[in-house]
A and B are shown apart, each in its own frame.
Chain A
């Protein structure tokens, strides 16, 4: 049918794995906002969920690194990490291979993609799913944007990926939801874990909420690395969602939570009727 839901959220492993180390009321406030997003997602009655994520070497490595990859499997599994470390039990997640195939074919009209019939989910997808579809019963189509091993796709290509996703979703008979997941500024997995540039985050979110394409695409990777850390490269996933939804965003939650190593974010975006 079309794209029926669009949103963004954080995926840092600490959100679930270190929840017990966080201030209980702050963790509960953020988890509550995440569950609110789950309610909005469910109300849109999606048949499938596309997750635009930035994985961390669960599947793709520098021996053969795709800029963009889309899952085309009947089913997936995750988390790849130690379940106790992540706080999420290992499970299977349904895919929808025929839908993947149709989406990929249409997206390839404008963006070159890799596809994968084998795909293990890491925290980048498992943390969002654990809140959004905690029974892991909604078919997922994973989309990966390489944000780990430079050279990375330029931001305008992340935008093009989002436009392609939208076009493909609108051609599908299914009701499709889209979630982009990443961090804004953060320095995860470094000795500076917990460092967050709140001002930078708020400016990025201002641009995202306004769906200001020129402003969103104006960051250079050098600036992002300096001001937002290597974790900031994941803004690509949020940019793809803005390109797909086209509407203004609504910020449901933002708060730097250092023990989770990221400015914890939940947002949704209005879906503007497409020109096509």
Chain B
């Protein structure tokens, strides 16, 4: 899953292919069912919980045209729905009911 995010974030041709026909692009990667569904749906919250590095995910969310506040909220909603982040170093450190940081 992270390999796909790495590739698409840096390859403009792949971004275009993904826009036109996402399944064909995702077919090239070794993805578990949940990973594939999350990527296909652009489910930022689930991708986050599955353990994608936040930097990879932040750029992917930007690629999907997601406004900043919505992207932050989607990660928090993902944890509320699917439970704590399962891998990596980008775990949420506050509670699901705490709300975003005061900006």
Contacts and interface: CB of A to CB of B under 8 A. Distances in A.
B70 to A, nearest CB: 12
Interface in B76-103: 76, 79, 89-94, 100-103
Q: Top 5 closest A-B pairs, CB basis?
A: A189-B54, A194-B101, A56-B55, A191-B76, A189-B58
Contact of B10 (A120, A190, A195, A259): A120
A81 interface: yes
Describe B's contact surface by its main secondary structure: helix
Describe A's contact surface by its main secondary structure: loop
13 contacts: A21-B68, A56-B59, A57-B9, A58-B9, A62-B2, A80-B10, A81-B59, A85-B62, A188-B54, A191-B73, A191-B94, A193-B100, A229-B93
Interface residues of A, number: 32
Interface of A: 13, 18, 21, 56-59, 61-63, 80-82, 85, 120, 148-150, 187-195, 225, 229-230, 258-259
A258 B9 CA distance: 25
A61 B6 contact: yes
Q: How large is the interface on B (under 10, 10 to 19, 20 to 34, 35 or more residues)?
A: 20 to 34
B102 A190 contact: no
B75 interface: yes
Contacts of B73: 191
Given A57-B9, A58-B10, A80-B9, A191 B92 contact: yes
